[in-house]
Chains A and B, each alone.
Chain A
Amino acid sequence: MQFVYTALTWGFLLALVPLAIHLINMMRHHRVRWAAMDFLLASYKKHRKWIWLKQLLLLLMRMAAVALVVAMLAKLVSRNQWSALLGSKATHHFVLLDDSYSMSDRTGAATAFDAAGQVMARIAAEAGQSDFQHKFTLLRYSQALSNGSAGGNGQDKPADTLLDFNAETVDANFDVRLEEKRRGFEVTELSIGPTAALQLIRQFVTDATQDQNIVYVLSDFRAIDWEAPTAAKEALKQLQASGAEVRFVRCVRNAQANLGIEAIEPTGDTRAAGVPLFVNVTVRNHGDQAVRRVQVKLRTTFFDASQLNTAAPQANVGVSEDLPVVLIDEIPPGETATERVQVYFPAPGQHVVEATLPDDPIAADNHRFSVIDFPAGEPVLVIDGNAQQRNAFYLTSAFEPGARANTGIRPEVQSPDYLRDTTAAALQRFRTIYLLDVPQLDARGVKNLEAYVRGGGGLGIFLGPNVNYASYNSTLYRAGQGLLPAPLDREDELLADPIEHKPDIEAERHPIFAPLLDEQNPLIRLVNIERYVRVPASWQPAKDGTARVLARLRNLAPLAIEQAYGEGRVVLFTTTAAPDWNGWANDPTFVVLALKLQSYLARPPASDQARRVGTPIVVELETSRYRPEVKFLVPGPRAGNRIVIERATAPPTDATTFTVAVGQSPTSPTGIGETGRAGYYDAWPTTLEGQVTPRRLALNVEPREGHLALLEPSAITSKLAPAKIEFSHFDDDLGVTGDAGNNLSLPLLGLLVALLLGEQLLAYSASYHSLPQMVH
């Protein structure tokens, strides 16, 4: 027998209250001066024993009733005798610990993660003091995430190795072991919901149906974690179907305001060493009140490839430079503010831009990194069908205006045969390809181009008098399946309009034409278009939005048409690049158009993609060129500290490439912890000749996790209905040992009712009930 709420057992002293009332009543007798004492004494003498017996019984029953009420409130439990004969029923505590970075929410000196740790310690301590058998299983969210749901290589870890404790028997020393284990826990920089942990723990709960299972979810229960809880709901449903009780324990008191850097994104302008580049820094206000005068510190780190120290990888820390602090005047609640800063790197390489916000409750989203690949120049392939390469002349003049004005674009002019003779892989080194008045392309050339654009390349097409429309329609357009955004009909002349004097070009609002619109640059109104290639009148842009007219002529015939193709883009101009059919190339706006067109079409470098903390870093290497060993430099636990991880993969004999990765190894004890910190990561593959070719990319936290708004318990339970959830706060009494053994509350209630009925009957029998006309 045992009480769940042992503190309430002091209430048994209340059983003395009926005795005290009885004694007080004895002292508070109503006094009557009585004449017929003889009769009264005779009656008393006759009934004295019965009266005393009934009074004693009544007093004992009242004391017992009070004691029963206290026992019910203190939740008396007892081990079932029958189940004890078959083997005792243990209570198994499954604890799911949220270690996503929102748990680092700090209030005073303690974080939500600390509070969760205290809850765990309390569970262990209370279970350790219990007379019953208790088991303890602990799973962190981050460990559950490494069970393959991180999108890794599909090689899941054995599930039981993910547990910090696996059905560990809680004994007197368990709290010490738990404390030792807890010291090694820290909040990750991951953004993890409860679904993976619930799904993983489900199989352990299902295997332990012989026990009384309680699943504790220790988390902060932010609103973002429960926006679409379908999978979690299903997991909870299955947990409860297996007989487990689910308790949610919130480890924060309330939501705090928080700022987070949401993105550091280079603008789409051409990037090259020695060319200034604008970078957009976006800060989100997760609070419910506007924030003013937000200071954002920016730092660039320049890595000089010529100074690479291969002997000591950790020594390659680059040259850091603090940029002027960016001041954001105001960020409305729930909104973002974006500021543009200019960065400059004199030499090519993968350089780092880092932004930092002042300290607030969540530190993880106050830092963000971006690795920007600055090549020596941006190689561009220009294919000109004109024998004198007139078109290429004007375009390359726009790309390379002179030595004093570096655009970073490095055009390479080739004849149409080049596309036929090269390979698709060889084209990958070009950021953009331009076809200028190319008469036609053979099948191999078309295939190479399509592979290039589908892979993310950009293609610009200018027409001209040499273009074979039928060939274009059959090979490049292919009834809408090819690269060409629209079919070509015939060459036509744009008739002059001496009456209205409307400009020849009507451009849509688009990044290519943005600088030329409105009154920013009125010179485009003076551009004269004389001839163009008409598209069939029946042609309309596809409704799925893949094709779009960017500019039209005065007669509404399309002048520029854009089409998305695979990962890349194609932009078609229905006139010439050279001033044969128009006077544009002689106009200053042509330079702006060419540079914007190049920026728009250029494929963004891979390192610009938003990679999240916890995702594996996979390096794909050519078998014939690289050694199987790769060194990875990952951020260490302290700022500026970097750790070297060496990985090797046996190169396959039947494949041309192989991959080496960190952050997904199923056998690694650190698991996703290898890529668990925000920062920039280096991979150092080595060629067979011994040359190191570094690759760098940045991993950042998921900014949404910094949104600290809490979901009300009632909202959570209604979202998860019909799953039955018991919701409490970290400082509530969890009643850990409450359901160990069998709850005797119901039998006690029955006994109490019977006792009260008996008490009434006995009180009536003992004449303690007043009758009408009685004198008190």
Chain B
Amino acid sequence: MHDSKRFLHPEAIKRIARLDLRARHVVEGFLSGMHRSPYFGQSVEFLQHREYVMGDDLRHVDWKVWARQDRLYVKQFEEETNLRCTFLVDVSRSMEYGRGPLNKYEYACTAAASLAYLVLRQQDAAGCVSFDDKIRQRVPLRSKRNHLLAIAEALAVSEPQDKTDMFAILSGVAETYPRRGMMVLVSDLLTDQGLLLKGLKLLRQRGHDVLVLHIMDDDELDFPFAGPTRFEGLESPDFLNCNPRALRDGYLEAVQQFLDHIRRECAKNSVDYQLIRTSEPLDAALVTFISRRLGSMSRK
């Protein structure tokens, strides 16, 4: 049977060395497999009124409404630019794990580049930040088509190292990007959960749309190990000699609790969350992204 997504499988993507080409390949393959093109409308028109709160810019107060109703409302307009999408890619050492065609780091980079290409293709602005315990690479937001190359280069030169300090990164990004936009966090989220959620909440408070692409390897989700094994931490000096079969149930239970917690907290903070296995085709990331875009439009 003909598989329209055969070019999106990690095995196929692995064969393409350059990340920008890989992104084009993914997006073009993805779009050719869809029945209709997604709608990306853009508007500079009035969107809605919102009651004034302390701190709002007085320039946006609709004085005509004040004159009629003696209430202060501010006018809200569509952004002038279509979309400002920033990809936050985790390049910490934990992303190095993976026994499939692509490890988590490669998968995350590919997904981020593909999404950037998709954004740029629609004349929107895309930027990129790669980080571990601090920001390693930063690519400013641009809407030029050839900006993809810069993003791809920034991702490619980042090598996984050190631990993840998610709150520091996210709070830094929130400070760095005051204008609202879309923040796409691509990470395995193997960090302090409290700080992670705190960071996500901060981004949301700053008005960003936040999308979390949670990249996990099959091994991490299924734990298929057997036989005497020594597990050594990628980001910590911890190690454990054990019979993995004996710990499997407890491990999977802990992972499930972690995923449920993340999913629940993300939902609570209106953060879009998608768990993606590195063995899955890359269209899962694109679908999630497009869904998010459509969802945000419908909300508007």
Contact = CB atoms under 8 A, between A and B. Distances in A.
Tell me if chain B binds chain A: yes
Interface string A25-43: 1101111111111111111
Tell which of A31, A38, A44, A767 has the most Cβ of chain B within 10 Å: A38
B247 A47 contact: yes
Nearest to A37: B233
A213 B104 CA distance: 79
Interface string B200-226: 000000000000000001011000111
A43 B247 contact: yes
Interface stretch (B71-79, B142-150, B234-242): B234-242
Given A773-B224, A775-B225, A39 B231 contact: no
A31 B241 CA distance: 9
B25 interface: no
A776 interface: yes
Interface stretch (B62-70, B178-186, B248-256): B248-256
A20 to B, nearest CB: 14
B230 interface: yes
Interface string A758-771: 00000000111111
B243 A39 contact: no
A51 interface: yes
Interface in A11-26: 25-26
B242 to A, nearest CB: 6
Contact of A767 (B234, B241, B243): B243
A35 B97 contact: yes
B232 A30 contact: no
Given A39-B254, A775-B224, A30 B229 contact: yes
A46 interface: yes
A768 B243 contact: yes
Contact of B251 (A28, A33, A39, A55): A39
A768 B251 CA distance: 16
B162 to A, nearest CB: 13
B163 to A, nearest CB: 11
Given A32-B230, A34-B97, A774-B224, A766 B240 contact: no
Contacts of A767: 243, 245-246, 248
Secondary structure of the A side of the interface?
A: mixed
Secondary structure of the B side of the interface?
A: mixed
Contact of B250 (A31, A32, A38, A43): A43
Contacts of B248: 43, 767
A29 B233 CA distance: 15
Contacts of A32: 225, 229-232
Interface residue tally on A, bucketed by range: 20 to 34
A771 B226 CA distance: 8
A201 B253 CA distance: 78
Nearest to A22: B228
Nearest to B247: A43
A218 to B, nearest CB: 57
Interface in B267-298: none
Contacts of B224: 773-775
Nearest to B251: A43
Contact of A36 (B96, B220, B249): B220
Tell which of B238, B240, B253 has the most Cβ of chain A within 10 Å: B240
B254 A30 contact: no
A55 B243 CA distance: 10
B40 interface: no
A320 to B, nearest CB: 91
A357 B234 CA distance: 95
A188 B220 CA distance: 88
A38 B232 contact: no
B234 A35 contact: yes
A750 to B, nearest CB: 30
Contacts of B95: 35
A34 B247 CA distance: 14
Given A37-B240, A43-B254, A775-B224, A29 B230 contact: yes
B222 to A, nearest CB: 9
Contacts of B254: 38-39, 42-43
A770 B248 CA distance: 12
B156 to A, nearest CB: 21
A30 B230 contact: yes
Contacts of A28: 228
B231 A40 contact: yes
Nearest to B254: A39
Contact of B228 (A30, A34, A770, A774): A30
A31 B251 contact: no
A768 B228 CA distance: 9
A40 B228 contact: no
B190 A36 contact: yes
Given A47-B246, A51-B243, A767-B245, A35 B94 contact: yes
B226 A775 contact: yes
Interface string A659-672: 00000000000000
B233 A34 contact: yes
18 contacts: A29-B230, A32-B225, A32-B230, A32-B232, A33-B234, A35-B95, A37-B234, A42-B250, A44-B247, A47-B246, A55-B243, A766-B246, A767-B243, A767-B246, A767-B248, A774-B226, A775-B219, A775-B225
Interface of A: 25-26, 28-44, 46-47, 51, 54-55, 766-771, 773-776
Interface of B: 93-97, 104, 188, 190, 217, 219-220, 224-236, 238, 240-243, 245-251, 253-255, 258
